[in-house]
Structure 1
Amino acid sequence: MAHETILLWPLLIALLTPILILASQIINARRSRKTAVGFFHPYTNDGGGGERVLWCALKAIQEETPDLPCFVYTGDHSASPLGLMARASDRFGVNLLNPPQVVHLNKRKWIEEATYPHFTMIGQSFGSVYLAWEGLCKFTPLYYFDTSGYAFTYPLARIFGCKVICYTHYPTISLDMISRVRERSSMYNNDASIAQSKWLSQCKIIYYTFFSWMYAFVGSCAHLAMVNSSWTQSHIEKLWRIPNRTKRVYPPCDTSRLEVLPLERQAEVPKIISVAQFRPEKAHPLQLEAFAIAIRNLDFDLPRPKLQFVGSCRNKADEERLQDLQDKAVELKVDGHVEFYKNLMYRDLVNLLGGAVAGIHSMIDEHFGISVVEYMAAGAIPIAHNSAGPRMDIVLEENGQQTGFLAQSVEEYADALLKVIRMPETERLKMAAAARARAGRFSEQRFNDDLKTAIRPILHRAYEQ
């Protein structure tokens, strides 16, 4: 018996050693915790609306508490304090008061989609925990501010003694996603082979249900959850069940810079603009197909329009999607009427918006739709997907005047495009003016004020302790 006990000691030591090491790291991190804000945003070069939120939120906190240091956790190895400050200004027109400090993350591959060919959602979620561990061990702030939607990191941040604040653009799992799998609808996040199989669909429902339970738990760990739209708020409140800690803060749209653009469009060729990252959920092929139909059905005496795709590429997969889109334009025989702009500077985007008569958007259940607001502020009539943010918050009547079009099918998009191109100038100007007035509800200043109001209680209460 004594001999067996002796043999068990190495096994116990082997099991306890990593636990003790992890506990020691947490204790040391909590002791060295700094009164600062740490923004968890692994992709500070994605160029999308999420990055704009990061810089605007950082600026708002700098204005609210000027002596509170701000740090950014990023997986971009070339990022530097001055470089990020310049990027915020050059790419988004956001002028930070001071350059943020940088905490470099070397394990970003663990949240890359390509790392998880199967069970991608849960793989990325647990990968984010590992990534957050790396960041929090390097630097532990009093406030952990997630601006990328990595909810599985919230319990870990609380273990490290942080106050957890988040800005949620969309739920990682939603009730709509589960219902689509149950209905066996094929989409970018529900492969056709699964949708066609009753057994595989049932397995995925179980997987999604289990994941939603975990997501509900980790999300409830947030001290303050800000959401970007009515649609997101509805889902988050049902899942996380912390309505008293959930605040709706519409995302920052650069309406002030765009509102000064003239509503009149002088170009002889009508321009349709599409602003979105080259990601599968943005449904760019649908836009091309609708544009091709509109070209074929356009009156002979009207000038042929031009479709301008503007977006950023995060990785090789995005680059391949862009190339596929260019190939599809050739296949549809509209390549002579289509232009592609990759990773455009913000001032160049403003120039393109100022020349567009319409802006097209086609993502299903777009949580909000910053690009739609930008179209409206710039004087381009929006043609947006008839779901979620655009339908519930944005493309609504303004003082009884229609502000744009909502569509779902390729045919509906083509019909909306033709309506805009054929629209008399006086009617277009009237609709564009109403759309611009509506866009004013989602200004950067409105975001700034609402975010400060939301974070002020938690920020000052903990900061003063």
Structure 2
Amino acid sequence: MPVAILLTSLVVAAFALGVETLAAVGIVLAVVLAVLVLIARWWVRRSLPPLAKGWVAFFHPFADGGGGGERVLWAAVQALQQMRPDVKVAIYCGGGATPEELCKHVAERFNLQVAPTFRVVPVQSCDRLLPGRYRRFTMAAQAAASVGVAWQGLRQLLPETFIDTTGWAFPYPLARLAGARVAAYVHYPTISTDMLQRVWDRDALYNNSDDVAASPLKSLAKLAYYHCFALLYGAVGAFAQVVMVNSSWTRRHIAELWWQWRKPERVYPPCDTQALQALPLDRRLKRIYLVSVAQFRPEKDHAMQLRALTAARAKAEGMHDAAGDAVLGAHLKLVGSCRNAEDERRIGELKALARELGISDHVEFCVNASFGELRALLGDAVAGLHTMVDEHFGISVVEYMAAGVVPIAHDSAGPREDIVLPEPGPRPGDPAQPTGYRCSSLAQYADAIVEVVGMGQLERMRVAAAARRRATQFSDQRFQREFLACCEDVLPAGRASEPPCNVLR
């Protein structure tokens, strides 16, 4: 969409000025741009240390977080340690944690064994990357902050290969001008055509306030800002030499926005399906409960889950059967990491909402649970809730399916296009089997909760078994093979201890 607007503007300018005049202006602008790039390259290289041969550095300021993005980072580090031991690894991150402390956290949270042989390059002012710091122009302010944080890291270590696993694209030109090769793993586009469409349609959501959505003038101004930002985002994305994305949805948006000749490679994020698949499908069901695994961030929409449980209970009150009794006795366990004071405040608001809805006795908060605790919780859950609109992928949904928990996910993006899809039957010729539920409204979520909780054990096990088969393609091992295959051309010269397989396109 932004590229189309740019091309349309050029065509209009050509008719207004004449093709010859426009060509002359274009040549002058190209020469000026080339001179500016040469000056910027000279200044950047003069200001930074020499290129550190053999080093690969990951840009991930919140490496000690507990989300799916952090799991990608540490699975990639583990892959390099195991298959490219000749490569020296560094991580630009804040928080002041040592390699030993980070490895302990990774083992507890993600069940990944990473050796503390990497170097931590401390970066300051990571809090400037948090959206809560900015009331207006949040994306632009965060983008500028990401360049500042990356500059702090590069001044301490200029690696041969710069790998971004956060999705912040604006430091890419800086790293390329400094002489590093750049690879990107994109979880979620900073801006997407869906976001532009929502502003155009004046739909209120977490990234488009009611105040803006209600005003035509403010919506127009925000739309202009979004288009300008999208153009810049596409331009800086062109500096990445390798582009990986985590889902079909993200791939489509990045292909539309970034100025890349090649289509991004889809590399599904890693999930510990092996450990979760060891859980039995036959639940003991001493107490029926649902789980929700997600960081306590606004876009995860935990409030929708509380309201869905309330609506399901209201529906069950009129059923007068065993299924209705099961729903009325069911609990919801919210499992997620708490990163900062803002997340703590959000948890407090959710607890208040549960009291207001009259379901506080049926809701439990499991904050900063270890992988062992998460595995135990998934081992007896009957259903897993997911309510984020346009979740780029949805590792938690895969975890539900691998553990034999029936997913109830939002009908958009990753869950709709890649994860919660029918699975072929166990024998040739068998009809495709459902692997879960996809919902987009409160009523649909309530109906799905009632159906899954009231489902017979054998029927639920059939759905869970199909979901488990579907989850096998999202493994740690597949991610690591494909990640190394994609990065092979930009990694420091050397030979892998085991040749990576080709990426499944």
**Residue in structure 2 matching 1:154, options 157, 163, 172:** 172
Amino acid at match of 1:55: W
How far did 1:374 drift? Answer: 0.2
1:288 match: 306
**Paired residue type of 1:393:** D
Does residue 345 (structure 1) correspond to residue 363 (structure 2)? The answer is: no
Moved more, 298-307 or 120-129: 298-307
1:335 is displaced (CA, Å) by: 0.6
Specify the alignment match of 1:414 in structure 2.
446
CA contact (8 A) 2:434 2:466 kept: yes
Pair 1:61 & 2:61 matched? no
Q: Aligned partner of 2:411: which letter?
A: N
Query: Which residue is equivalent to 2:14?
Result: none
- Aligned to 2:471, which of 419, 430, 439? 439
Pairing of 1:65-76 with structure 2 (within 5 A) = 65-76=84-95
Which structure 2 residues correspond to residues 23-422 of structure 1 after superposition, within 5 A? 26-27=45-46, 29=48, 31-77=50-96, 79-244=97-262, 246-298=264-316, 299-300=319-320, 301=322, 302-303=325-326, 304-399=329-424, 400-422=432-454
| Equivalent residue, structure 2, for 1:17 | none
**Which blocks of at least 5 consecutive residues in structure 1 are unaligned?**
1-19
2:196 corresponds to which letter in structure 1?
A: I
CA offset at residue 456 of structure 1? 1.6
CA–CA distance in structure 1, aligned partners of residues 261 and 404 of structure 2 = 36
Q: Is the 8 A contact 1:307 1:338 kept in 2?
A: yes
Q: Distance in 2 between matches of 1:308 and 1:340?
A: 6
- 1:397-454: CA deviations, max 9, x gaps? 0000000000011111000000101111111000000000000011111111111211
Helix, strand or coil for the counterpart of 2:365? strand
Q: Distance in 1 between the 2:482 and 2:222 partners?
A: 38
CA deviation vs aligned residue, 1:204-225 (integer Å, no higher than 9, x gap): 1100000000000011110101
Q: Describe the superposition over 1:94-134 as per-residue Cα deviations: whole angstroms up to 9, x where unpaired.
A: 11244321011112132122332210011000110011001
Secondary structure of the 1:145 match is: strand
The Cα of 1:243 is off from its aligned counterpart by 4.8
Aligned-partner residue type, residue 422 of structure 1:
G
Shift of 1:86: 1.6
Give the counterpart letter for 1:319 in structure 2. Answer: E
Matched residues in 1 for 2:443 and 2:350: separation? 19
1:21, CA displacement in angstroms? Answer: 12
Q: How many Å separate the matches in 2 of 1:458 and 1:244? A: 15
Q: Output the CA distance in 2 between the equivalents of 1:148 and 1:39.
A: 9
For the aligned residue pairs, the C-alpha RMSD in angstroms reads: 1.9
- For residue 103 of structure 2, what is the amino acid of its counterpart? M
The 1:294–1:396 alpha-carbon spacing in structure 2 relative to 1, beyond 3 Å, is: same
For residues 116 and 203 of structure 1, what CA distance do their matches in structure 2 show?
18
The structure 1 residue matched to 2:482, chosen from 419, 441, 450, is 450
Provide the identity percentage: 45
How does the TM-score come out when normalised to structure 2?
Answer: 0.85
Q: Aligned residue for 1:15?
A: none
1:35 alignment partner AA: G
How many residues align? The count is 445
Mapped partners of 1:80, 1:315: distance in 2: 19
Deviation for aligned residue 1:390: 0.2
The one-letter code matched in structure 2 to 1:56 is A
**AA partner of residue 311 (structure 1):** G
Gaps of at least 5 residues in structure 2 are 1-38, 425-431, 497-505
Do 1:26 and 1:137's aligned partners in 2 also have CA atoms closer than 8 Å? no
Contact 2:161 / 2:182 at 8 angstroms: preserved in 1?
yes
Q: Check whether the contact 2:182–2:241 (CA below 8 A) recurs between aligned residues.
A: yes
Give how far 1:461 is off: 5.5
Matched residue SS, 1:445: helix
- The CA distance in 1 between the partners of 2:47 and 2:142, in whole Å, is 27
Of structures 1 and 2, the one with the larger relative CO (CA 8 A, separation 6+) is: 2
> Which residue identity does 2:111 align to in structure 1?
G
Query: Does the residue aligned with 2:334 lie in a helix, a strand or coil?
Result: strand
In the aligned structure 2, how far is the partner of 1:245 from the partner of 1:430? 37
Partners of 1:121 and 1:441 in 2: how far apart? 34
CA separation in 2, counterparts of 1:396 and 1:246? 23
Structure 1 residue 267, shift from structure 2 partner = 2.0
Measured at CA, do residues 377 and 408 of structure 1 come closer, stay the same or move farther in structure 2, by a change above 3 Å?
same
SS at match of 1:131: helix
Cα distance in 2 for residues equivalent to 1:21 and 1:285: 48
SS in 1 for 2:488: helix
Equivalent position SS for 1:457: coil
Q: 1:241 Cα deviation (Å)?
A: 3.4
Counterpart of 2:285 in 1: which secondary structure? coil
